[in-house]
Structure 1
Amino acid sequence: MYSRKDERIRHGKDLTFTLLTPEDAFELLAFETAERAWFEQHIEARKEQFYSSHGVSQHIIDCLAMNAQGRMSPVLIRHKGVLIGRANLRDIDGENAEIGYRLAADVCGQGIAHKALKHMMKEARCVYGLDTLTAVVSVENQASRRVLEKAGFSVVDKLTQHSEVGGEQLDCLVYRCALRQEVECA
């Protein structure tokens, strides 16, 4: 199997963004299990039942049902075919949506989050016709905050003790971006 640790991702080349499918269940379970400790340092933990073949399969079914209703866009991020992250538009309501992403620990700091965010912003504007995106990130998550700010997001609210990470209640910031100003459809 390809080892990401052997090669840094240069300039985001060989990245693909694809809609989650039922065929991704095994690979997604392996990815989420391998990265679980990393994710749980930064974002709320998934429920234990998620980490099983049935749990991931049900998650995919739920995501794709919402996608069919135009309420979610669940995307997998791959480098040279290897799953390295996820990005989602969720709670799509015709004008607005919430955006989120998660990347494998060993690909962070290589510009992948920025590329994923820009890809999803373009999809939000050009495919879904959305006007604004919001993102919620803990105050402590400096890396994600920088990615959002670099992409044109601004803080619009603070949520006290909004998220539980590692047994600790964390304050979060709500970021918003007006897509008309930041995204051109070509």
Structure 2
Amino acid sequence: MPELQLLRLDHAPALLAFEKENRAYFAASIPDRGDAYFTGFDERHADLLAEQATGLCYFHVLVNGDGGTAGETTAGTTGEVVGRVNLVDVADGSAELGYRIAEKAAGKGLATDAVRRICVLAAETYGLTELRAKTTDDNTASRAVLERTGFVTTGKIELSDRPGTTYIRTLS
């Protein structure tokens, strides 16, 4: 299984490659990030790291360390990014979970494993007691991951003009 790593500055090239390679795949189920995301990627990456330093968000990447695009997963080097798992809007023991997995890695249990690992990390390292999540109703894979990992439905919403569902999971 890929290693779950807290986002670092040296992840930028592999993360940008991941986002570019999977842009059309992601846009089929979630709103597209837009061209500005890619043209301003380095600044955005630096902003994410600054935000993470405040403790308001924790951004993670899933890195293949078995001969990925840039080598080993030791400090200062990264392998191929095959996913992202983020905790945002951290406050009062709660955060919102978001994740995306590369098309070539989809359907292999990676998202389920990553969400399980982030739940443990959120409780044990970040001191969180609950996670929230949301997805469009037509994103059956994401809904299945949330349900398999202990999230329960809390309501219905609109996400980019599409029907969606909200979820919550209490962490122990």
Q: Given the alignment of the two structures, is residue 34 of structure 1 paired with residue 21 of structure 2, yes or no?
A: yes
Give the CA deviation at 1:29: 1.4
In 2: Cα distance, 1:72 partner to 1:138 partner: 22
What amino acid sits opposite 1:41 in the alignment? A
Runs of 4+ in structure 1 deviating by more than 2 angstroms, as ranges, are none
RMSD of aligned alpha carbons: 1.1
What amino acid sits opposite 1:78 in the alignment? V
Q: Given the alignment of the two structures, is residue 64 of structure 1 paired with residue 49 of structure 2, yes or no?
A: yes
Aligned to 2:72: none
Give the CA deviation at 1:94: 3.1
In 1: Cα distance, 2:53 partner to 2:141 partner: 32
Aligned to 1:133: 131
Q: How many residues align?
A: 159
| TM-score, with structure 2 as normaliser | 0.88
Question: What secondary structure does 1:91 align onto?
Answer: strand
Aligned to 2:30: 43
What amino acid sits opposite 2:171 in the alignment? L
Question: What secondary structure does 2:142 align onto?
Answer: helix
Conserved 8 A contact 1:20-1:60:
no
Q: Given the alignment of the two structures, is residue 163 of structure 1 paired with residue 164 of structure 2, yes or no?
A: no
Question: What secondary structure does 2:5 align onto?
Answer: strand
* 1:75-102 superposed Cα distances (whole Å, 9 cap, x missing partner): 1101223211111000000310000100
In 1: Cα distance, 2:35 partner to 2:80 partner: 25
**Among residues 80, 97, 100, which one is paired with 1:99 in the alignment?**
97
Q: Given the alignment of the two structures, is residue 146 of structure 1 paired with residue 131 of structure 2, yes or no?
A: no
| TM-score, with structure 1 as normaliser | 0.82
Give the CA deviation at 1:24: 1.9
Conserved 8 A contact 2:25-2:103:
yes
**Among residues 80, 83, 86, which one is paired with 1:85 in the alignment?**
83
In 2: Cα distance, 1:94 partner to 1:17 partner: 24
Question: What secondary structure does 2:90 align onto?
Answer: coil
Aligned to 1:17: 4
Question: What secondary structure does 1:42 align onto?
Answer: coil
Conserved 8 A contact 2:60-2:84:
yes
